[in-house]
Amino acid sequence: MIFRTQAGGALWAGIVWACVCMGATARGTDWHVHPERGDDKNTGTAEAMLASVQRAVTLAEPGDTIHLHPRGAVYRQSILLSGKSGIAIEGNDVTLEGADPLPETGWEQVKIDLFRRVMPRTPLDRHLLILNGRMERMGRTQSGNSRDFPPPTALETGQFCFETIDEKTGWLYVRGPVTGLEWSTRMNGLATSGENRGITVRNLNARNFLNDGFNLHGHCVESVFENIQGYDCFDEGFSAHDTCECVIRDGKFWGNENAVADVNDCITHYQNCEFRDSVSVDCLLIGKTHTLINCRILNTTTATALSAGPRGPDAAGFRLTLENLIVEGRREGAPARVRINGGELRLINCTFRNVDLNTSGATQQD
């Protein structure tokens, strides 16, 4: 089934702020980071770079820009922004990595191709094993419907399980070679808390985190995320909470529990973004006001493609604008599900292919 919505109506005026010069700051200091060549005791210049992004964040003041080097590098680090205003992070296509390599030695052989080692318990007892760059979550999710790990003897090659020993440790079992393994240990790639304003993040990726690639909490407003990717995380690729307000341009989010999940009283505005390959929901928008413009949802799994609506029975204040959105169900014989369960809805020039669309709970605006 293919059908299109008709054009009509202007975008909700309350998010005009999202299209103006947000994130623009006066020219300030440039801070440079290089995990291998840098040292956090350095001054942060191009000649004396820092080793950690967090040290640069601590030093940065309004108008400053943090540059990550070298281009395309992998940083086994997280970033927390709290109480910052008017700073920019130029990621230079760096990837924040939530996992660390596992040693090839020190494993106990249980059977011919079954090995185990004692590991610290991870935050929230979430578990991601990466084998030669491929993430494996063993069917476990954060949404309360996780499968139990199979017993170690039932594992297939490339699979794992985790058995708790005590409050601090457990056995990690792996079936097959124990080379090229990584184990997720960090919660979020880039996170915010408290008050932040006018943050700009460009050209940055986040993968294999036990929670979110990009996790916004507190009151993070007038902030822009450009050309970012959040993928293969236990929870979301990008998630905004509380009273955060932000624009996300040219983002890609895949292989997560939910590609994106924005909740509470946040306002999010997505432009030219792609959402796909999720476990639960490709695009989950709950609570207040959200916009998808020139975006694509490619529904390739059993996940719901789009689920949106107010939190609780009161639909007042929830607004969703979909303009030039393409939703495509890519599973033969199984249309993608789109559910908009209340509030105010604007559909402008949207295209739905192989989609089961239900907007009966929403009030459609011209």
Written as one string, the DSSP assignment of 83-138 is S-BS-EEEEEEEEEE-EEEPPSSSPEEEETTEEEEEEEPPGGG---EEETTEEE-T
Domains and CATH numbers, the chain: 2-98+188-364 (2.160.20.10), 99-184 (no CATH)
* Token pair 């400053």 in the structure block, residue: 64
Q: How far apart are CA 87 and CA 66, in angstroms?
A: 8
Q: How far apart are CA 53 and CA 310, in angstroms?
A: 36
Picking from 92, 77, 6, the residue whose alpha carbon sits closest to that of residue 36 is 77
Picking from 176, 224, 172, the residue whose alpha carbon sits closest to that of residue 196 is 224
Q: What is the pLDDT of residue 14?
A: 43
Q: What is the pLDDT of residue 21?
A: 43
Q: What is the pLDDT of residue 197?
A: 97
Q: How far apart are CA 115 and CA 107, in angstroms?
A: 6
Q: How far apart are CA 141 and CA 218, in angstroms?
A: 25
Residues contacting 16, CB < 8 A, separation 6+: none
Q: How far apart are CA 223 and CA 238, in angstroms?
A: 14
Q: How far apart are CA 15 and CA 246, in angstroms?
A: 10
Residue spans of the chain under pLDDT 50:
1-25
Q: How far apart are CA 355 and CA 366, in angstroms?
A: 22
Q: Residue 229 corresponds to which tokens in the numbers above?
A: 């990717």
Q: What is the pLDDT of residue 25?
A: 44
Asked if residues 278 and 309 have their Cβ atoms less than 8 Å apart, the reply is no
Chain segment 126-162, per-residue pLDDT in tens: 999 999 999 999 989 887 677 899 999 999 999 999 9
Q: How far apart are CA 326 and CA 275, in angstroms?
A: 11
pTM comes to: 0.93
Q: What is the pLDDT of residue 314?
A: 66
Name the CA dihedral angle for 242, 247, 252, 256, rounded to a multiple of 10 degrees: 0
